[in-house]
A and B are shown apart, each in its own frame.
Chain A
Amino acid sequence: MTFAAGGGSVGRRDAWYHKPDVRRLGASLGVGLVLALVTGKDGRSGHFGSGIAAALGGVRVPSFLAVGLALWGVATGINRYGDEMRRALAPATAARKRVTGNATFRTTSLLVMLVVAIGIPPMLSSFWQGVLVEQVGIFMLLAVGLNVVVGWAGLLDLGYIAFYAIGAYTTAYFTGTLPVQPPIVLNPFLCFPLAVLACLLAGVLLGAPTLRLRGDYLAIVTLGFGEIVRIVANNSDGITNGSRGATNIPHFSIHLLGINYDWTLNSLPYWYLIMVVLAVVVLLFFRLEHSRIGRAWAAVREDEVAAQASGVATVKIKLLAFAIGASTSGLAGVIYASKIGFISPDNFLLILSISVLAYVVFGGMGSLFGVMVGAALLTWLPQFLRDYVPATDRNLYIGAILVLMMIFRPAGLLPARRRRTELSLHDIPEAETVAVPAPGSMGGSI
């Protein structure tokens, strides 16, 4: 925005339309126009331009331009008086930090959340209870798992949903709903350890040859893995029942020591089950994050060479992240398979891998609480928008939110301390290098 102020060539850059305020006004009005277009009427085939004409007609354009103008006013105001505003609000910010950093506050808010998680769902309609289980709960669990891989170990995994599929198919196999029969048919509860084991194994099998790769290469390989698992499930008719999938997977049930309880089509009991599983997983992961393993992950993520030189077995530690993340999604797979009772390869599309990754990034990579909030918000939002916008436009709004988030809060909604520091470090590398003379130039005494 300070383009015009920057020295260098004079002349055209000083023109009135290069002034920051004017440029900002143009951008705001442009945004208003785009909004008017995308929220307008749909086009019709055969009538080229009818959609655009309809969208631009009537009072829509002026009203959206007014919104743009208002945005411009706010942006200009913040630009002019932002520092003074921040200064005026400094005591309030400090007070907020004092309260939120307080241990009692944290315990209290945790208790409040617990009460909400237990008390609110029974009051919801069965539709929203279903959303809570099949979307919010399952994806919170998946996001917590992927956070280990992406947020802590810093490995970009684009095929994460494959492990979810493996967990679900393991359940289908051991409950005897696939064409191949297991040695003994088990209750879905007993599938938890088996699914975890299967996913651990799959994670190690995928990770061992590929974790020597870095960044982009790993992303491509995992992307391929995700598709391979789905396509194998789709094409192995004799084993997975192909595209017809597994049907009639039994619900959870307890018949133990006189306690008899069956999970049914009702979603609510599943919500509580997910909450218990999630609570256990989060507790274990919280400990892990603050242990030797968590620090080793952070070390590998920040500087792999230095980590190796400090004795960290980097391949092993990355493999561990992969395996732990994979087994978490195995848990989610079991719950999903048993809740829905039906799985097919279409439940494990690439878009889900991308979505879970988006939840993790949106919530704040590396922050256990953040990724749960991210997953909950972004799975709730499409269902909420269902009543307000056309179904085809829903992803547009989600995408816009993600883009805005990355621009204004790149570390995510509730960033982890370590990650926040890493991101803020990217803003100041120049200062560091200026302060430090090049190593070679220090030999001046020789």
Chain B
Amino acid sequence: MARSAPTAAARVADPIFDVAGVTLRFGGVTSLADVTLQMGRGEILAIIGPNGAGKTSLFNCLTGVYRPQTGSITFRATRTELPVTLLGRKTHQINHLGIARTFQNIRLFPALTVLENVKVGLEARHGVGPISAMLGLPNARHAERESTRRGIELLRFVGLADQANTIASALSYGAQRRLEIARALGTGPAVLLLDEPAAGTNPVEKRELADLIRQINRDLRVSVLLIEHDMRLVMSVATRVIVLNFGQLIAAGTPEQIQRNPAVIEAYLGTGGQAEDGRNPGTDAGGGGGWR
């Protein structure tokens, strides 16, 4: 496969993420094969690809859950900062650098209230120690008030303010997705990684989600990296799209370019030969549907 062409298209002027030659293997399985891509500051970058293409693996490499065997990943929170490597850092340290994420299968703190969930994200970085907290010192009280205020603000932003004191597990599925986004935003990220945020939501919720992603990008000035299977959502919100297949980057470009790219169409619909040997997961991902 001609790798040089998509890699060139994956370069940007002011990268917030710079992923170079990343390879991730689990035993004999290569999950990411020499992936090189950049994410520009301020963009909404979508990663698409058939199931098992390595999208979530890439997320896990970016957030320190997996450590790739080769390659480098650097991150620049702001234009003025020097790039820092993400390899070898712990998940919470990476979060503190300004990278927040949500999960494919929602992972809230189910027994905490909606507000408490967001506050966990808000408070992870500021340093009120146990002594101040136990003694109820002024700085602890101030921090507590401040995090409640910010929490309510964020809940208002995602439209959950009226359910602030509900137990998180009692929320509807779509609301849980939005709460997870609010919690991630609470950590004050420069870039937000959303792992299939539309999975399991209904068409109305999908439209609201698209608006929310645009607002996060426009109003909060947070770059968004999005994994999503729903093509209508991807094509409507993404400024750029990257396509992975079998752990390799096969295409990068604007939504329009991607929709016309023969390599992408082949990966999703398969050629006759590939479909027969059943190697291509794109075919059983409901290939017949085409673009929505």
**Does A318 belong to the interface (CB within 8 Å)?**
no
**Does A446 belong to the interface (CB within 8 Å)?**
yes
Contact B112 A298 (CB under 8 A): yes
A440: chain B residues within 8 A (beta carbon): 51, 285
Q: Contacts A291-B144, A442-B200 given; indicate if A303 touches B108 (C-beta within 8 A).
A: yes
A435: chain B residues within 8 A (beta carbon): 173
Question: 1/0 per position for B107-138, CB-CB distance to A under 8 A?
Answer: 11111100010011101111010100111100
Return the contact of B286 from the options A295, A296, A446 (Cβ within 8 A).
A446
Contact B229 A292 (CB under 8 A): no
Contact B143 A292 (CB under 8 A): yes
**Does A436 belong to the interface (CB within 8 Å)?**
yes
Cα–Cα distance between A299 and B200 once the two chains are bound (Å): 24
Return the contact of A311 from the options B124, B196, B287 (Cβ within 8 A).
B124
B116: chain A residues within 8 A (beta carbon): 295, 298
Cα–Cα distance between A310 and B109 once the two chains are bound (Å): 11
Contact A292 B199 (CB under 8 A): no
Contact B169 A421 (CB under 8 A): yes
Q: What is the CB-to-nearest-CB distance from A410 to chain B, in angstroms, rounded to a whole number?
A: 15
**Does B28 belong to the interface (CB within 8 Å)?**
no
Contact B268 A308 (CB under 8 A): no
Cα–Cα distance between A236 and B140 once the two chains are bound (Å): 45
Q: How many chain A residues touch B (Cβ–Cβ < 8 Å)?
A: 41
Q: Contacts A288-B130, A306-B107, A442-B199 given; indicate if A313 touches B92 (C-beta within 8 A).
A: yes
Question: 1/0 per position for A229-252, CB-CB distance to B under 8 A?
Answer: 000000000000000000000000
Residues 123-168 of B contacting A (Cβ, < 8 Å): 123-126, 128, 130, 133-136, 140, 143-144, 147, 167
**Does A263 belong to the interface (CB within 8 Å)?**
no
Contact B232 A445 (CB under 8 A): yes
Return the contact of A295 from the options B120, B187, B198, B282 (Cβ within 8 A).
B120
Return the contact of A445 from the options B92, B186, B289 (Cβ within 8 A).
B289
Q: Contacts A310-B183, A311-B187, A436-B200 given; indicate if A299 touches B112 (C-beta within 8 A).
A: yes
**Does A309 belong to the interface (CB within 8 Å)?**
yes
Contact B130 A310 (CB under 8 A): no
Contact B133 A310 (CB under 8 A): no
A87: chain B residues within 8 A (beta carbon): none
Q: What is the CB-to-nearest-CB distance from B67 to chain A, in angstroms, rounded to a whole number?
A: 15
Q: What is the CB-to-nearest-CB distance from B114 to chain A, in angstroms, rounded to a whole number?
A: 13
9-residue interface stretch from B6-14, B95-103, B218-226: B95-103
Contact B133 A291 (CB under 8 A): yes
Q: Contacts A287-B136, A298-B109, A442-B198 given; indicate if A292 touches B123 (C-beta within 8 A).
A: yes
Contact A442 B133 (CB under 8 A): no
Other than the given A291-B134, A291-B144, A306-B109, 15 more pairs (CB < 8 A) read: A288-B134, A298-B112, A302-B112, A308-B90, A308-B95, A310-B121, A311-B100, A312-B92, A313-B124, A320-B130, A324-B130, A422-B111, A444-B285, A445-B292, A446-B229
10 inter-chain pairs at a CB distance below 8 angstroms, sorted by A residue, are A288-B133, A293-B130, A303-B107, A305-B91, A306-B109, A309-B91, A311-B96, A311-B121, A421-B167, A443-B51
Interface residues of A (CB under 8 A from B): 284-285, 287-288, 291-293, 295-296, 298-299, 302-303, 305-314, 320, 324, 417-419, 421-422, 425, 435-437, 439-440, 442-446
The list of the 3 closest CB pairs from A to B, nearest first, reads: A311-B124, A443-B229, A291-B133
